Amino acid sequence: MAESGAHLVGNVLPKAPYRQWVLSFPWPLRMLFAAQPQWLSRVLGVVIRALSTALLKRAGVRHCNGARTGMVTFIQRFGSKLNLNVHLHVLALDGAYSFKHGKVCFPRAEALRPETLNTLLTPIIPRVTRTLVRAGVRVAEAGQPYLDLEMDSPYEQLAGAAIRSVIAAGPRAGRATMRLHDPLLAVEPSGATAKPLTGAGDGFSLNCAVACEAHERAKLERVCRYRARGPIAQERLSIEGDGWVVLELKRAFSDGTTHVLFEPQDFIARWAALVPRPKAHWVRDHGLFAPNARERADIVARPKVASQVSANDECVSHVGRTPLSSMARLKRVFAIDMKQCPHCGGELQVIAVMTEPGVISRILEHTALQGLVQPRAPPLALTN
């Protein structure tokens, strides 16, 4: 997560304004994209072409005149309540680059208006539907289109339960996942506020409320890290005394839901449904950011060569071919500089790195810092 954000900001994304576009799909398409991600690739092409055309138009330039834009797509498979929700996070330039007479200029896209989203979402929905109908995987019936596919494998059954947030395994299979509600946090439908810069229709939803200016590089990296994150934060998971797994939501739902409860077997089934299918890329570059784009070298920051990076420079963001060290990751994400003495502020020197658990435990015991929770024994074998 941290390395993905550092790599994109340091080595891929030029200094320019950006906007994030989030597109979610109806439940049947979520099921299709989760089980067969090759169809998501075709739909993604439709979405990227529609967004690129809209951006060029708002910037007042044309593709035929050499104008180009760039995007990075993060494909996420999870929702906030650990449900299976395949959706797209597209980080796009808020404008376009124009290449004329050997000069590069960046016309900024005009300000977004609420009606612009509906104008953009309206053609995307029929194009996506038409693409899947022509491929023979969706039947366009009047009023209720449906998928013409047989999905009876164990994975597809788990995926279907994870999409609908129902229990997939155990004696309570088929029932809704248990939740904890706080009535004081519930919001009446009449009092709910609409999300800014959001359009919806036919089960599709498009949001573009998050934007970063050219000088907000730290904010841009936080956005990239958030989009490249895993499904859940471990500190929000706990186990009750009776064995139930409790997930605390980051923020309460409009109905007052604050926690989601899973039986152990259903929790494993839910995680199995969230595992991505093999041979599918979940971060993709488009346009000017694509690896083989002809104009990429003119706008993308070039990574520093190894000879230009000192051995003590642990937080250089442009070292694209080597992963960040643990010290560099702490400094970049949490602003914790392990090379600075907490007492005098002087520079510390790394003399050794301890990775063996036994050595670490003996050192902590010797310095009276052994306050860690002892690891529990492995679970006993289940008996019938």
54-82: per-residue pLDDT in tens? Answer: 999 999 888 878 889 999 999 999 988 88
pLDDT exceeds 60 at position 370? no
Q: pLDDT tens digit string along 154-194?
A: 888 888 899 988 998 878 888 898 898 888 888 876 655 67
pLDDT exceeds 70 at position 381? no
The pLDDT value given to residue 313: 45
Domain boundaries, the chain: 2-170+197-230+275-299, 306-366
pLDDT exceeds 70 at position 318? no
**Could you give the CA distance from residue 158 to residue 161 in angstroms, rounded to a whole number?**
5
The pLDDT value given to residue 383: 46
Q: Which of 34, 157, 163, 54 is nearest to 109 (CA)?
A: 54
Q: Is 283 helix (H, G, I), strand (E, B) or coil?
A: strand
- Hey, what are 214's tokens? 């050219």
Q: Which residues contact 244 (CB under 8 A, 6 or more apart)?
A: 261, 262, 263, 264
pLDDT exceeds 50 at position 227? yes
The pLDDT value given to residue 373: 54
- Please state the length of the chain: 384
Q: Which residues contact 166 (CB under 8 A, 6 or more apart)?
A: 173, 174, 175, 176, 177
The DSSP secondary-structure symbol of 240 reads: -
The pLDDT value given to residue 70: 93
The pLDDT value given to residue 146: 67
Mean pLDDT of 367-381: 58
The pLDDT value given to residue 139: 77
The pLDDT value given to residue 91: 95
Q: pLDDT tens digit string along 274-293?
A: 888 888 888 999 999 988 88
The residue that leads in pLDDT, 214 or 241, is: 214
**Could you give the CA distance from residue 292 to residue 295 in angstroms, rounded to a whole number?**
9
Q: Is 93 helix (H, G, I), strand (E, B) or coil?
A: strand
The pLDDT value given to residue 301: 64
The residue that leads in pLDDT, 361 or 206, is: 206
Q: Is 215 helix (H, G, I), strand (E, B) or coil?
A: coil
pLDDT exceeds 60 at position 32? yes
Q: pLDDT tens digit string along 103-155?
A: 889 999 988 887 788 888 988 999 998 898 888 887 776 666 667 677 778 88
The pLDDT value given to residue 51: 93
pLDDT exceeds 80 at position 26? yes
The DSSP secondary-structure symbol of 340 reads: B
Query: Which phi-psi region, left, alpha or beta, contains residue 372 (left: φ > 0; alpha: ψ -120 to 50)?
Result: beta
Mean pLDDT of the chain: 82
Q: What does the angle CA 210 – CA 13 – CA 59 come to, to the nearest 5 degrees?
A: 65
pLDDT exceeds 50 at position 306? no
* pLDDT tier, 340 (very low <50, low <70, confident <90, very high otherwise): confident
The pLDDT value given to residue 349: 82
Q: What are phi and psi of 78, to 5 degrees?
A: -135, 155
Report the percentage of the chain scoring pLDDT > 70. 85
The residue that leads in pLDDT, 374 or 85, is: 85
